[in-house]
Structure 1
Amino acid sequence: MRPHGAHANTPPGEGSSRRLRLRLRLRPLRRVATGAALLLALTATPSVAVPTAAAEGSCARIGHLVVPGAARQQAACLDELTTAGTVGSGHTDPADWAGLTPKDLSTPAGVPGIQIDGHFPDTSTTNTHHGWNHDAQFVIRLPDRWNGGLVIAGTPGNRAQYANDRAIGDWVLARGYAYAATDKGNTGPHFYRDGRRPGDAVAEWNRRVTQLAKATRTVVAQRYGRQPTRTLATGISNGGYLVRWQLENHPELYDAGVDWEGTLWRADGPNLLTFLPTALAAYPTYAAGGAGAARAHRQLLAAGFPAGSEFLWPYHHRSYWDLTQRVYREEFDPDFDGSTEAGTPYCAPGTPACDADYDYASRPAEVHRAVQRVALTGRIGKPLITVQGTLDVLLPVSRDADVYARMVHDAGRGDLFRSYRIEGGTHTDSLYDTFPDRLRPLVPCHRSAFTATEHWLRTGHAPPPSHTIPRPTGADPTTLLTGCPLS
């Protein structure tokens, strides 16, 4: 879950008020000759994209592409499917992915193909893209030079369908993959208004990813004349949660998954409602100094916020902790604050119905049942790699990836799973620009995990055992931004 203006796990839509809404010009564009796609493999030989019969005909079959179940679709023949071209052509929205990647992340180019934008039937209207004011929007991108694979992604935080374009979409498209992403069925800071009962909005996320995966596999077959040889699910934060849930509940749709700091939902905890209230209650005392500061510091560490991450606490208190707690608590436990919607921002402990005093363990059984509806089990059915930073202070690794690793092993699925703790990684990759001497970006670690997954599928040889990947001593920014070996 990243906050919008800064990062992938934004509380649902932080920064939505300052979004620049682009009316996407969904019309066929003149095609020009292009070279081979730029391939940005980091740790393994990339999958090779080769022209197909459909590619040789360029966009000749664009009128024959039908997204099953879509209420609306519009296709465009584009010279460039990556953000190197879609920003200028109007086929992405930079506000969706603002703050999710380091500023110096390179942008591949040379990927012509077809983009389909559309939406499935839905009753909510939080997504304003294209002037549609309609949720369950999706984007499907079909490169001319296809490597036979398909990548399915759900968005981080509560952003819309283009949120992964810089961090994930550009790179997999340049490697030849077809790519599809969904807004998960609701967006923005009031996502919890969607649905009739607690948990409905998050439950819809899972259904929408399943729906998109099924539909896109059909569209791929229409475009290229055959089904994908491999389908991978991947995503950041809330998107990482979706990867886990898909591999637990619909492994038949996928060959593998790569989870980038996925959110953990468990009915008995831990989940973000068990540790964020401690941050809201203890941090102001810690920050004020004085007699209570040492005790407050111990409380924060005991809640899971790692020692050594203190330099990140002011930013997360200001930008993430409060909003995230309130809106997700409203989704699962709207009765906590009565008729108030999503609590009182930055209320002091002792204030009536204050989220700083929220005690998930003591809440009524129906609250736990609402979380159980979307809870994870660890019973994955296909190979999965997780990467998460040791300095994650929105979803601490000891309360998230480490717990999920134990769940997978307890479920007897450990042979299908690897979890890599990235020393110096934090939940918001753009913070690397502010603290390059203390952090490391996770985007190259995700790419290493992705290529390791490809190798796993191709050869049957599992990646290195789960472990902590140290931050290279004295590493320069270029090294950290372009490499993250798993071994």
Structure 2
Amino acid sequence: MRRLALSVAALSVAVAGGLTLPAEAHGCPQLRVPGAEYQVVACLDELTTAGTVASGHTNPADYAGLTQVGLPQQSGVPGVQVDGYFPDSSRTNTNHGWNHDAQYVIRLPDKWNGGLVVAGSPGVRAQYANDKAISDWVLAKGYAFAATDKGNTGVNFFTDGVRPGDAIVEWNVRMTQLTRAARTVVAQRYGRAPREVVAAGISNGGYLVRWQLENHPELYTRGVDLEGTLWTANGPNLLSFLPPAIKGYQHQSPSAIVAAGFDPRSDFLWDYHYAVYWKLTQRIYAAELDPTYTGSEADYDYASRPAAQQAVRRIALTGRIGRPLLTLHGTLDSLLPISKDSDVYAGLVRQAGRARLFTYQRVEAGNHVDGLVDAYPDRLVPLVPLLQKGITGSALRPQLFE
């Protein structure tokens, strides 16, 4: 991807080492992202991907495959974009040629509705991964938007940190850091604090939403998560249900895959998920949370790995949300099966006595990534439109799944 130009539209203001280049009169506003090591401020005629792809202010590789081809394109949103990074020692994110992690993007539309949406990237993707699914939509509705790469990216994300679990612990730290910074930048730009701050995300980004509402509810007014990853120390988690699914696939045993938690009606997706997701996901998360394990993905036994359980405790969810949360999850999810993920999280919320804050929507025929809707238009329904409406629509009546 091309580097960001230092002169886009009216003006760009670069900040490095605490020094701010003076802005031209009547040009871009002088904004300072608290705690940032580097930033580039650009005034753009278009903040959505309708313009940022051509201007180099997004990276389509970050969001490839996450949305269906038919998702409507949003456009007509001029404003200010701030790109940069916070201090960090890891270098897995190569966007803009910076080779620096803890990258972020903040977008500030000229016509602001008073709201701010903050997101972490799904999977192990970088900061622009939500541009099609979330950023375009909320910008068109007048929200400011901020996103983080979570502090490490790619299939080698587990090389970041020292202790097992450090890389994922950093994901939560970076989401908190960006939310605090973005709230300040919004106030700088518009002269007042946001009236609403929404945490939103998909998959690993959805995990961040849950963790933030449990641990930093003071920063948000509500949250929306689509198929957020569930981590519980005693299970279930992906280290407990992926190995038996992998073994079942290798032994041509559909019943074993179903027993692992996957809906039997999703069997038409298993070939793809075994080839693309199951083995890779098991391998890289075991490397992060249980680095002494040397066996195969299929033979991994989470119940007999106390060190892994201890690492998962560092990132585990409790259900003790402190702000309203809407969770959406597809019944045919073939990476994070709903019976081992959001159904369980709904139970945690109930056990924690927070049911009044929780709305849970189980979506029939929804899968983990909407890109597969294009391959199976008669068998899958897209989830991103529901996520979008959940972020910007009126709040649903809290209703805990039973």
- Structure 2-normalised TM-score? 0.94
Pick aligned residue for 2:328 from 387, 394, 402? 387
Shift of 1:28: 2.5
Pick aligned residue for 2:30 from 64, 73, 88? 64
Could you say which residue in structure 1 is the equivalent of 2:18? none
- CA change 1:30–1:63 in 2 (3 A) is closer
Tell me if 1:429 matches 2:370: yes
Higher relative contact order (CA 8 A, sep 6+): 1
Taking every aligned residue pair, what percent have the same amino acid on both sides?
62
Pick aligned residue for 2:90 from 109, 124, 127? 124
CA offset digits 1:50-82 (Å, max 9, x no partner): xxxxxxxxx947342000000000000000000
**1:404-423 equivalences in 2 (<5 Å):** 404-423=345-364
Could you say which residue in structure 2 is the equivalent of 1:325? 282
- Structure 1: which 5+ residue stretches go unaligned? 1-20, 32-58, 287-295, 338-352, 457-461, 469-487
Shift of 1:447: 2.2
Tell me if 1:362 matches 2:342: no
Aligned length: 390
Report the residue type matching 1:401 in the other structure: S
Report the residue type matching 2:321 in the other structure: I
Shift of 1:463: 2.1
Could you say which residue in structure 2 is the equivalent of 1:472? none
Could you say which residue in structure 1 is the equivalent of 2:292? 335
CA offset digits 1:168-191 (Å, max 9, x no partner): 000000000000000000001100
Could you say which residue in structure 2 is the equivalent of 1:314? 271
Shift of 1:25: 2.7
| Structure 1 counterpart SS, 2:142 | coil
Structure number with larger C-alpha Rg: 1
Note if contact 1:28-1:75 (Cα within 8 Å) is conserved in structure 2: no
Tell me if 1:144 matches 2:101: no
Could you say which residue in structure 1 is the equivalent of 2:399? 465
CA offset digits 1:138-193 (Å, max 9, x no partner): 00000000000000000001111000000000000000000000000000110000
Report the residue type matching 1:416 in the other structure: L
1: distance between equivalents of 2:400 and 2:236?
A: 21
Report the residue type matching 2:281 in the other structure: T
CA offset digits 1:89-116 (Å, max 9, x no partner): 1100000011110011111111000000
CA offset digits 1:237-264 (Å, max 9, x no partner): 0000000000000000000000010000
Report the residue type matching 1:368 in the other structure: Q
| Structure 2 counterpart SS, 1:145 | coil
2: distance between equivalents of 1:451 and 1:127?
A: 30
Note if contact 2:141-2:392 (Cα within 8 Å) is conserved in structure 1: no
- Structure 1-normalised TM-score? 0.78
Shift of 1:194: 0.2
| Structure 1 counterpart SS, 2:117 | strand
Pick aligned residue for 2:226 from 260, 268, 274? 260
2: distance between equivalents of 1:467 and 1:334?
A: 36
- CA change 1:139–1:313 in 2 (3 A) is same
Could you say which residue in structure 1 is the equivalent of 2:158? 192
Report the residue type matching 2:291 in the other structure: P
Note if contact 2:197-2:220 (Cα within 8 Å) is conserved in structure 1: yes
1: distance between equivalents of 2:27 and 2:113?
A: 19
Structure 1: 4+ residue segments shifted above 4 A? none
